[in-house]
Chains A and B, each alone.
Chain A
Amino acid sequence: MQLKIVSDFNRILDFQPCRPWPKSLPSIAANGILIAGFQRLPSDTVLDHGKLSSDLFTALFHELHSNLTLPEMSRLSETLKKNNLIQLKDDFLKISGFQPGPNLNSILESLRDVPLELQHWLSEKKMGPQEILPLLNVTPSQAAQILSACRAHRDSRNEASQRMELISDLTLMKYELTDILTQTLATLKSLRYPITSSRDNSLKAKELPWPAKLRAQPKRQGDHSGFDIHFFANSPLELNKLSDQLKKVADAWNSSLDQV
């Protein structure tokens, strides 16, 4: 290991990592490549690890930049390409927990076109490849609009993942993107699943003789729709009473099914 200065290196892997390199630490280099501490002056100090084997180089990079997100990996891929180091990409992907392959390559390429502030938002949400896959079915400009909508709706990771897929599907189903970007998740679901939504709504519309002390909410759980029922009983007697009343609800529900 020896100390050098930034201007000694003409290969710099500045992929704009989300976490800034601590100012108190020198830049780091190995194999003639600056791999951490990028935004420094040409005369700033660099700790150069010299010549490392490919495995050690990858491991060092991973220690300096652990838990890279997909947008970071996308920027890193681009930087590797520009520095004629693309052969390192798969090793970096693997050590960062991603599975190299054509699907991941397509995702990384599609992220390249996403504005940086949206890339940072995706990084914050720690979105994975499976969640971003639906965006491959729309154009880069549509993908950016969908991501903007997710951010504008202040979606959680789970909500954003649902919104991306629903809007991508609806776009492929010829809905106007501008008409659906502002819709709530509930509206998007009713557009994407019209038949099921109508069935669920008919359940909501059922007037069943629920006991006053009981709260019943129509609810979808996976491939089933039904009622989510909450009640409080303070004695066996009251529980028996509620159970009798529930039998009446079941009968009424059953006869409403027969009418369908």
Chain B
Amino acid sequence: MEFQPRSSLIASFDRVYIDEVARDSEVAQRVLDLFPKEKIEFVSQEPWSEAKRGYLSASEFERSKKNLFITPFKGQFFKRCPGSSQSKVLNCCNYHVLNLGSQCNMNCSYCYLQSYLNSPIMKIFSNLNSAIDELREMTNLHAHLPFRVGTGEVIDSLSLDEITLYSRKLISFFREFPKWTLEFKTKSDRVDQFLDLGPSPNTVVSWSLNCEEMITAEEHGTASLENRLLAAEKCLKAGFSVAFHIDPMIWHPEWKANYAKLVDTIQARFRPDDINVISLGTLRFQPEQRHLMKQRFGMSSHVTRAEMFPSESDKLRYDASLRHEMFRFVYNKFKSQSENWRIFLCMETPETWVTALDAQPSKKEELRELFRPLPKV
């Protein structure tokens, strides 16, 4: 497919490194077509990898967002969501992840990659076919089970998709397995590159949403709320499923008014039947990343100033009663308009479910399927 990415995306990278062994991959060939020659370098090892170290410093983290490395991934692509490793303390929604790269070209102040990544460069994995082979093994075994597979765990699913066009191959693959769901998760508005493949009801294009005020203050370099919603409307019209993740809700003095406005906006433009699911989450992050966040964003951010405490899952979270209040507020706001909105809490404890939403997910008819245990992979 002839699809030209925005010039601003190409210009946002200082340099693109192509692993010699990935030279003949489709994505490397596309990069060669799209980027100016002077920005491209072939390498035999990962740049800046000579010193293996722990957490990246602020300057290394910034640099890693501006340099791209095209390389094959040597590990297992298909994994359970990290939340599942804490299923003793968190309710697990059976999400699975397929990592086709790492790092993100956007810059949210709360981004968990700040404590997750130890690679000093953004990566796009060149061996999509190996990922699809892995998927095929799983689908051959469990074609009848409702597996949900997301590609947006350690990289935004769509913000670089204009370069890779991976969405197109994945959508086509998932068509063969209607019980399985492919989920793209994004804060971009980049969907035009695959719309012609619709309708594809088992592809869920999902947006992390926030109130406009928090998008402006904390989600740097992302699409505006209006552009995300416009893109969601395009996807619906083309026959894709759409989901929203109001996550992370961030406390700020006007949080009630601003999140109420967000819910009103969603309700004015979408019907409950339009939206596959809405997940809610409040701000949370690993304790180790707080110093890096302060170095990168100072203390004027609502995220670095947030009043956070160690929780059962070891992450820092708001006080439980504040979390419950925020969940109840947004949940009730949706449900007061229609009981048909399918809403669940992301990475939350059973106690929060009961306190904020009155019941465990297994007791909620509309969510039972989502939380039904699946075979471990």
Q: Using a CB–CB distance below 8 Å, which chain A residues touch chain B?
A: 90, 99-103, 106, 130, 133-134, 136-137, 169, 172-173, 192-196, 199, 220, 222-225
Contact call B319/A100, Cβ cutoff below 8 A: no
The answer to whether residues A172 and B294 also contact, given A101-B54, A103-B55, A199-B322 and a CB cut-off of 8 A, is yes
Q: How far is the CA of A193 from the CA of B309 in the complex (A)?
A: 10
Residue B320 at the chain A interface, CB threshold 8 Å: yes
Contact call A172/B299, Cβ cutoff below 8 A: yes
The answer to whether residues A102 and B57 also contact, given A134-B291, A199-B322 and a CB cut-off of 8 A, is yes
The answer to whether residues A225 and B319 also contact, given A99-B53, A101-B53, A103-B57 and a CB cut-off of 8 A, is yes
Contact call A169/B299, Cβ cutoff below 8 A: yes
Residues of A within 8 A of B288 (CB): 130
Contact call A225/B54, Cβ cutoff below 8 A: no
Nearest-neighbour CB distance to chain B for A188, whole angstroms, equals 13
The answer to whether residues A173 and B299 also contact, given A103-B57, A196-B309, A225-B319 and a CB cut-off of 8 A, is yes
Contact call A100/B51, Cβ cutoff below 8 A: yes
Residue of B nearest to A168 (CB): B294
Contact call A195/B310, Cβ cutoff below 8 A: no
Chain B 92-129 interface residues, beta-carbon cutoff 8 Å to A: none
Contact call B57/A100, Cβ cutoff below 8 A: no
Contact call A106/B299, Cβ cutoff below 8 A: no
Chain B 15-73 interface residues, beta-carbon cutoff 8 Å to A: 51, 53-55, 57, 59-60
Beyond A134-B294, A136-B295, A225-B321, 11 additional pairs, beta carbon < 8 A: A101-B51, A101-B55, A103-B55, A106-B57, A133-B291, A137-B294, A137-B295, A172-B298, A195-B322, A196-B307, A224-B320
Q: How far is the CA of A103 from the CA of B120 in the complex (A)?
A: 14
Q: Using a CB–CB distance below 8 Å, which chain B residues touch chain A?
A: 51, 53-55, 57, 59-60, 251, 288, 291, 294-295, 298-299, 305, 307, 309-312, 317-323
Contact call A223/B53, Cβ cutoff below 8 A: no
The answer to whether residues A223 and B291 also contact, given A99-B53, A102-B59, A196-B307 and a CB cut-off of 8 A, is no
Contact call A220/B299, Cβ cutoff below 8 A: no
Q: How far is the CA of A196 from the CA of B321 in the complex (A)?
A: 10
Nearest-neighbour CB distance to chain B for A205, whole angstroms, equals 15
Q: How far is the CA of A222 from the CA of B308 in the complex (A)?
A: 9
Count CB-based A-B contacts (< 8 Å). 65
Residue of A nearest to B55 (CB): A103
Q: How far is the CA of A173 from the CA of B304 in the complex (A)?
A: 10
Residues of B within 8 A of A196 (CB): 307, 309, 319, 322
Q: How far is the CA of A165 from the CA of B317 in the complex (A)?
A: 17
Residues of B within 8 A of A192 (CB): 307
Nearest-neighbour CB distance to chain A for B62, whole angstroms, equals 12
11 contacts between A and B (CB under 8 A): A101-B55, A102-B57, A103-B57, A130-B291, A136-B291, A137-B291, A169-B294, A172-B299, A195-B251, A199-B321, A223-B317
Nearest-neighbour CB distance to chain B for A10, whole angstroms, equals 31
Q: How far is the CA of A100 from the CA of B318 in the complex (A)?
A: 33
Nearest-neighbour CB distance to chain A for B89, whole angstroms, equals 12
Contact call B60/A102, Cβ cutoff below 8 A: yes
Contact call A99/B54, Cβ cutoff below 8 A: yes
Contact call B51/A223, Cβ cutoff below 8 A: no
Q: How far is the CA of A228 from the CA of B174 in the complex (A)?
A: 53
Residues of A within 8 A of B59 (CB): 102
Q: How far is the CA of A101 from the CA of B295 in the complex (A)?
A: 16
Residues of B within 8 A of A134 (CB): 291, 294
Contact call A223/B299, Cβ cutoff below 8 A: no
Contact call B294/A223, Cβ cutoff below 8 A: no
Residues of A within 8 A of B307 (CB): 192-196
Nearest-neighbour CB distance to chain A for B308, whole angstroms, equals 8
Partner of B310, one of A99, A103, A223: A223
Partner of A222, one of B55, B57, B310, B323: B310
Nearest-neighbour CB distance to chain A for B325, whole angstroms, equals 10
Nearest-neighbour CB distance to chain B for A51, whole angstroms, equals 27
The answer to whether residues A223 and B60 also contact, given A130-B288, A137-B294 and a CB cut-off of 8 A, is no
Residue of B nearest to A257 (CB): B321
Q: How far is the CA of A38 from the CA of B360 in the complex (A)?
A: 67
Contact call A223/B318, Cβ cutoff below 8 A: yes
Contact call A223/B57, Cβ cutoff below 8 A: no
Contact call B57/A199, Cβ cutoff below 8 A: no
The answer to whether residues A223 and B54 also contact, given A130-B288, A133-B291, A193-B307 and a CB cut-off of 8 A, is no
The answer to whether residues A100 and B53 also contact, given A172-B294, A199-B322, A225-B321 and a CB cut-off of 8 A, is yes
Q: How far is the CA of A101 from the CA of B53 in the complex (A)?
A: 6
Q: How far is the CA of A165 from the CA of B66 in the complex (A)?
A: 31
Residues of B within 8 A of A222 (CB): 309-312
